[in-house]
Amino acid sequence: MAKRVLIVGGVAGGANAATRLRRLDEKAEIIVFERGPYVSFANCGLPYHVGGEIQERKKLLQHTPETLKARFAIDVRIQHSVEKIDRTAKEVEVREVCTGRIYRERYDNLILSPGAAPFKPPVPGLDLPGVFALRDIPDMDKIIAWIAEHKCTKAAIAGGGFIGLEMMEQLHHKGVMCVLFESNPQILTPLDAEMVRPIEAEMREKGISLHLSDPVQAITNGVVTDKGASLKITTKSGKSHQADLVIWSIGVRPETKLAVDAGLELGTTGAVKVNEHLQTSDRAIYAVGDCIEVTHGVTKAPAFIPLAGPANRQGRIAADNICGIPSTYKATYGTAVVRVFSLTAACTGANEKLLAKAGIPYQALHLHPNSHASYYPGAHPLALKVIFNSKTGTLLGAQAVGKDGVDKRIDVLAVAIQAGLTVDDLVDLELCYAPPFGSAKDPVNLAGMIGDNVINERVAVAQWSEVEKLSGSVQLVDVRDSAEVARGSIPNAIHIPLNDLRARLSELPTDKELLVFCQSGQRSYNACRILMQNGYVCRNLSGAYKTWSTTLPLDTK
């Protein structure tokens, strides 16, 4: 008898599960229920159609019910909402959205892929016309229509995560002035604070009004203009702002109502709990994508990390297991990337906040290499941060920001983290090199060399965040050239250029530890090697002046 598999939800997880099932089992009966009008679309491309970079709307449609039927013999029922699961009878109750008709379907296996929904706390005004969240194509269409109809010139973005920043960038491209509100003291919280400062500076240079630690508290109708009623946004600080539309993007929450009503177990994060085979507490029911709880690949703690790549793989794994192919989903590492105007930011693994919470001992390194050989035109500096276990050297996380070459370095480091490599293993990685693409010592190799020096105690390092509290007990030493120092230095630093250091050692105190810095950390490492071999106790400031200066308030730069 043919296996009957029902799938709740399409897009990444559900659609991939359906097509994988068909490739593995030509006889299986596969039915996909999608409550919206589209079953398979490029969710991550939605902001770019709003902004016009993806010009043709149809490019976002990856499959239709007709193409899935023709190619894979899959029964796709759009605008059909699964309302209830009867686990005893192994049936689901389905509501046809357009007619209200209720019917039931039997299953041998059920895959839940309802995704996640925008988080909407009890903030007054979220239901007003002109307030949008971007989850699917109908949402996108409504935003585009509103902008055209109301000739919008100003938008408010609530939330500085990936979607909020993408929407901000794309609206700016359309000539819409943007103001962005973030409840945290930084945007892009998967990265550490010092790493996002260049992104925040880039936003302000583009004319974005950025308000950190100041979330939206209420939205009301504002001043009526010839285009209609605008919106008034009031924030926690009590300030108010006018906008023609609001994009609500403060995060998502897993869609779990169907699972909860069926008595399926949730994890500690509030998402559906699954085992390594992606089975729920009912072994006939699988769950994939943005509705499930995963294991964080570094901390090993339960996590909710909604990303398209993992959702695609999970759909495949669930299908394998249903078809008798033992397959496991091991962990999610949170590897992600975003473009903000001319800069790219990316991350993988754990940041310092996660590691501190998990009690994992770590060491962070900052470096600022060029994206490719400096003598070849178009080289741009990268800000690269690599975090490793301070006891074992095992890689724990990486973050990067820059104009070019960011994604490929984080991709390499994501593989290294998943492979369990140590920081000094990075020294030996053989990576592509030609002047237009990289350097003989790739930034990833350089990170390994720095880590090797730290682990083997050839140099000790200090972090930008330690400078202020150490200022009374250490002597800061700036080993840059005079022209660089003239553009700014860390207060109370003695200035001795590296080339003069050996001749001027007597000018340095011997009763204090020295905290040495240059522009990016390489010259100050050389200085530390000189000083250590002459009896001085010293530390190199990781990332040096470049990293430290990014954390200054804008009005002090």
Distance of CA 220 to the CA centre of its chain: 31
Contact call for residues 295 and 303 (beta carbons, < 8 A): yes
Neighbours of 474 (CB within 10 A): 21
Distance of CA 449 to the CA centre of its chain: 27
Q: Are strands 362-367 and 109-112 parallel, antiparallel or unpaired?
A: unpaired
What DSSP assignment string belongs to 539-552? EEETTHHHHHHHTS
Query: Rounded to an integer, what distance in angstroms lies between the CA atom of residue 274 and that of residue 112?
Result: 11
Of 198, 199, 246, 203, whose CA–CA distance to 222 is shortest? 246
State the catalytic residue, choosing from 44, 291, 347, 538.
Answer: 44
Burial of 263 (0-12, 13-18, 19+ CB in 10 A): exposed
* Edge-to-edge strands, sheet with 209-212: 131-132, 245-248, 154-158, 177-182, 209-212
Q: Please name the amino acid found at residue 432.
A: C
Please compute, for residue 418, the number of CA atoms within 13 A of its CA located in the half-sphere on the CB side. 13
Angle at 280 between CA 275 and CA 286, to 5 degrees: 100
Distance of CA 268 to the CA centre of its chain: 21
Query: Rounded to an integer, what distance in angstroms lies between the CA atom of residue 384 and that of residue 367?
Result: 5
Query: Rounded to an integer, what distance in angstroms lies between the CA atom of residue 140 and that of residue 52?
Result: 12
Query: Rounded to an integer, what distance in angstroms lies between the CA atom of residue 320 and that of residue 316?
Result: 6
> In the structure, how many helices (H) and strands (E) does the chain have?
15, 32
Of 337, 368, 357, whose CA–CA distance to 521 is shortest? 368
Is residue 178 annotated as part of the catalytic site, yes or no?
no
Structure token digits, residue 533? 């071999």
Of 84, 43, 74, 75, whose CA–CA distance to 60 is shortest? 43
Query: Rounded to an integer, what distance in angstroms lies between the CA atom of residue 412 and that of residue 429?
Result: 9
Contact call for residues 341 and 202 (beta carbons, < 8 A): yes
Active-site amino acid positions: 44
